[in-house]
Chain A
Amino acid sequence: MNRFPLWKYALIGFTLVAAFLYALPNFFGQAPAVQVSPVRTLEKADPALLAKMESLLKASSVAYDGMELADNSIKARFASTDLQIKAKDVLENGLGERYTVALNLLPASPAWLSAISALPMNLGLDLRGGVHFLLEVDMKAAQEKAAIRYQNDFRTELRSDKIRYGRISREGDAVTVHFATRDQRDAAINKLGTVFTDLAYTAEDQADAFTLTARLKPEAEKQVQEFALQQNITTLRNRVNELGVAEPVIQQQGANRVVVQLPGVQDTAKAKDILGRTATLEIRMVDELADPLALAQGQAPFGTDIVPTREGTLIAVKKDVVLTGDSITNATPGFDNTSGQAAVHINLDGKGARIFKDVTRENVNKRMAILLIEKGRAEAITAPVIREEIGGGRVQVTGMESAQEASDVALLLRAGALAAPMQIVEERTVGPSMGAENIAKGFNANIWGFIAVVIFITFYYRVFGLFSSIALAINGFFLIALLSLLQATLTLPGMAAIALTLGMAIDANVLINERIREELRNGATPQAAISAGYERAWGTILDANITTLIAGFSLFWLGSGPVRGFAVVLCLGILTSMFSAVTVSRAMANLTYGRQARLAKLSI
């Protein structure tokens, strides 16, 4: 009665081997590496780049343990972190600004394991160090920005159709146009309604004027928000590329949030600075007739805003936006050919170039201001005088204090403007030494706890305790293998969950062993006791685990970040324990006792 057919042993043996193989890569640790990838997404990492890297490293005699080209980046392994950092410097200097060079960690497991896609688990930020940001996009601002755009477009449309209008005002995301007569208003609604179909118009007859108020339709509003989020994610991706991080995670979370994870980043202040720059860029004309004294008192001429310059003076800029940062395709730091001053060279897209050409032609010898708007505060980076019409979409801006500043401004422009401002609403930073310590602590907690449980159970249940202990160890392998196959991210709470499930998993074996003892006490033969013990305990084991699974699922559903990791490990651990505790330990009992027909005594 206690014999498994051969295929059952074979199946169990197969799962054991598979579990062992797929858990194995986690025990090799990780090797320091340097990852090189092109800054621009259009460029490719190719064998030529690989050859160049090899020759650069050889020239400065930095020994490397292999180089591979995959996923549009080249990774080189090194024997030590010293070599890794040395290599990073060499490659950074040798390859120039077109490539980012980032420190990374690669699995140190042998190639044949990687070949069967046995890869180690990813380590969470709390185990490898790094930064986690949750950014929230200001959707109200995104809608207001859309409204501002319509405000400008209305002027152009009405003017081109020669419909006379009065004031165009904006409150939040609603744009209101005033007219002298009802006919003009109705003509305007007709005209605007056919051009801007995303808007809903409401007409109102007031005592002194006829007005129309335009608002985004709900579905258009949703689209504006989606676009804003997508553009911000793209912009963040560009900025992160500039930072040089090996495996950044940039993901949408919910309707208006973005998660940014930067493993291994040590200079968190700089990361926050570059990411948190909620800068948007606008080019507007300067109102030169404004009285500086009135500006100092906060009195802006009609239709203008007061903006401080970098020198600390105040200027008035017109509310009409000539161009926004969306039109900028590239920006590079450099020097002015004639004066040698630090400068930023800006390239505009086709539409931007046309507008820019018209505006500069009409405004020769007037000043235009480039405004950097951060967290609702505008600052004029520079307000140069237009010397001549500028065509071709290539603009040079001088007025930077230093080459460093020029390169900072260029980075900001190049990384693209955000569609709407973002705010960091959550930050989790873990220093690199803390990460390593957390791994050690999580590992120690598991291993010492496991040893203690094994001693306790083997002492108490003897041979059956040994079966239980082996089943428990196998459960650990199953769990690690499963997590590795799923490429789950291991966090410290995840390691705690491994420890906890190992502690709980023994319950199934205790239930079985107690049942066997009871059957023996009631006078059953050893063989019958084993069989009855396993079969009768099964229902209880199932019952007992389901309640924990309910808790695990709820945590996964409602939890976030590390709590989710905890929940995943908890649920998987319960599932693997049901297999290992029941089937694997039964196989051991069957192999040991199953063939002894006259078994007189059990060691339990």
Chain B
Amino acid sequence: MIDFFPFKKTIPFMSWGKVTTAISLLTFLFSVWALWDKGLNLGVDFTGGTVIEVSYEQPADLPAIRGALEKTGLPEVTVQSFGTSRDVLIRLPVRGDTDAAQTSNRVMAALTAADAGVELRRVDFVGPQVGKELYDSGALALLVVTFGIMAYLAIRFEWRFAVAGMLANLHDIVIILGVFAFFQWEFTLTVLAGVLAVLGYSVNESVVIFDRIRENIRKMRGATIPHIIDDAITRTMSRTIITHGSTQIMVLSMLFFGGEALHNFALALTIGIMFGIYSSTLVASPLLLMFGIKREHFIKPVEKKEEAVV
């Protein structure tokens, strides 16, 4: 039997409370600062505008492309290389006038005139109204997922667990968003989908640990609550690492083989998985202690049942 985690003794996670709280607080504050100071680099999905990806047979001559596009009179065009030196990404901000949809045609016409070897790879044009709607429904989805999971945890366990689990997960989301803001990685619709999926997924972690805590409270009658929590975390440690390791392998595969389209999606998942492990073990559980979880919260209904049998 191979065992990466042959823990004979319970690891005293709860005694590290001060350190982990400090770490959480620091990263959290850092993320809030990054979000406040730099803001998310929202993709065209949310802001509206036009993104055009083209590729050339030879390495692209960016100044020449900029020159060709300047002649079209389109304002605020940004041109940058993308992935390889032959691929070019052209961004145009959203414009108020009615023929915004024709923008990509004008760009392509100008580029083809300058160099006939250009090939259109992708166009994303999102009107301002649609962008706003996508933004709103994205924000709503975030709220629905957050409260849906919270409600589930509250039904399944107890309100203290629900609040602890949810705070730990909000902490994850803020950190994912903060990292995206700090590095100014583009935040697109796909990335949002990834963030929400990983939110649902990393709550699993809290669920598994909470399950154990509940079971331990019933079984380990003599133990203190911190010891019970430590034991629960230690015993689920192996599963945590193996499961998240497997998911992370898939995510890394997407990062390496999935190309530019899945790159930021995979990055969001990676941060989500890493902080998901950290927060469910070292944020959610100390919070439980803080909320003053007691044996009586669980034992009572069981005792009643036993009396009835007797």
Contacts and interface: CB of A to CB of B under 8 A. Distances in A.
A492 B190 CA distance: 10
Contact of A540 (B193, B211, B247): B211
Interface in A492-545: 492-493, 496-497, 499-500, 502-504, 506-507, 510-511, 514, 517-518, 539-540, 543-545
A559 interface: yes
Contact of B201 (A423, A442, A504): A504
B253 A430 contact: no
Contacts of B261: 126, 438, 441, 492
B141 interface: yes
Contacts of B105: 268-269, 272-273
B1 interface: yes
A445 interface: yes
Given A546-B152, A563-B193, A441 B258 contact: yes
Interface in A146-161: none
A517 B239 CA distance: 11
A375 interface: yes
A498 to B, nearest CB: 9
Contacts of B259: 437-438, 441
Interface stretch (A178-186, A224-232, A453-461, A477-485): A453-461
B257 A425 contact: no
A566 B245 contact: no
A339 interface: no
B42 interface: no
Given A268-B123, A427-B123, A442-B258, A548 B197 contact: yes
Interface string B247-286: 1111111101111011001000100000000000000000
Contacts of A442: 258, 262
A366 to B, nearest CB: 34
Given A429-B120, A555-B197, A506 B104 contact: no
B102 interface: yes
Interface in A446-492: 446, 448-450, 452-453, 456-457, 459-460, 492
A585 B257 CA distance: 29
A310 B204 CA distance: 68
A457 B249 CA distance: 11
Nearest to B205: A544
A49 interface: no
A547 interface: yes
Given A548-B197, A551-B196, A496 B265 contact: yes
A428 B123 contact: yes
A276 B190 contact: no
A497 B265 CA distance: 11
A396 B134 CA distance: 48
Contacts of A549: 200
Contacts of B148: 550-551, 553-554
Contacts of B1: 517, 604
A71 interface: no
B199 interface: yes
A570 interface: yes
B91 interface: no
Given A272-B105, A456-B249, A503-B251, A511 B197 contact: no
A554 B242 contact: no
B186 interface: no
Contact of B254 (A136, A445, A518): A445
Contacts of A136: 127, 129
B144 interface: yes
Interface residues of B, number: 75
B211 A134 contact: no
Contacts of A511: 208, 239, 243
A426 B125 contact: yes
A547 B200 contact: yes
Interface in A282-336: none
Given A499-B250, A559-B141, A427 B193 contact: no
Contact of B104 (A429, A503, A559): A429
A232 to B, nearest CB: 16
A552 interface: yes
Interface in B49-86: 53
B200 A503 contact: no
Nearest to A551: B200
B203 to A, nearest CB: 4
A557 interface: yes
Nearest to A273: B105
A550 B200 contact: yes
Contacts of A499: 250-251, 253-254
A540 B232 CA distance: 14
A504 B247 contact: yes
B140 interface: yes
A510 B239 CA distance: 6
B149 interface: yes
Contacts of B124: 427-429
Contacts of A453: 246, 249-250
- Residue among B120, B149, B236 with max Cβ neighbours from chain A (10 Å): B120
Nearest to A514: B239
B243 A441 contact: no
Nearest to A442: B258
A425 B130 contact: yes
A81 interface: no
Contacts of B125: 424, 426-428
B209 to A, nearest CB: 10
B152 A460 contact: no
B191 to A, nearest CB: 10
A433 interface: yes
Given A449-B252, A547-B203, A549-B200, A503 B122 contact: no
A559 B258 contact: no
Nearest to B53: A434
A444 interface: yes
A441 B265 CA distance: 14
Contacts of B201: 504, 547-548, 551
B122 A429 contact: yes
Given A427-B104, A492-B261, A550 B145 contact: yes
A540 B164 CA distance: 19
B37 interface: no
B120 A449 contact: no
Contacts of B250: 445, 449-450, 453, 499-500, 502-503
Interface of A: 126, 134, 136, 268-269, 272-273, 276, 375, 423-431, 433-434, 437-438, 441-442, 444-446, 448-450, 452-453, 456-457, 459-460, 492-493, 496-497, 499-500, 502-504, 506-507, 510-511, 514, 517-518, 539-540, 543-555, 557-560, 562-563, 566-567, 570, 604
23 contacts: A268-B120, A269-B108, A423-B101, A429-B122, A431-B119, A441-B258, A441-B259, A445-B254, A449-B254, A450-B250, A460-B4, A499-B254, A502-B250, A506-B247, A507-B243, A539-B211, A547-B201, A550-B148, A552-B197, A560-B189, A563-B189, A563-B193, A604-B1
Interface of B: 1-4, 53, 98-99, 101-102, 104-105, 108-109, 119-127, 129-130, 134, 137-138, 140-141, 144-145, 148-149, 152-153, 156, 189-190, 192-194, 196-197, 199-201, 203-204, 207-208, 211, 235-236, 238-239, 242-243, 245-254, 256-259, 261-262, 265, 269
**Considering the complex of A and B, which 5 residue pairs feature the smallest CB-CB distances, nearest first?**
A551-B200, A449-B253, A503-B250, A424-B101, A425-B127
Given A427-B101, A496-B265, 4 more contacts: A134-B130, A426-B126, A514-B242, A547-B149
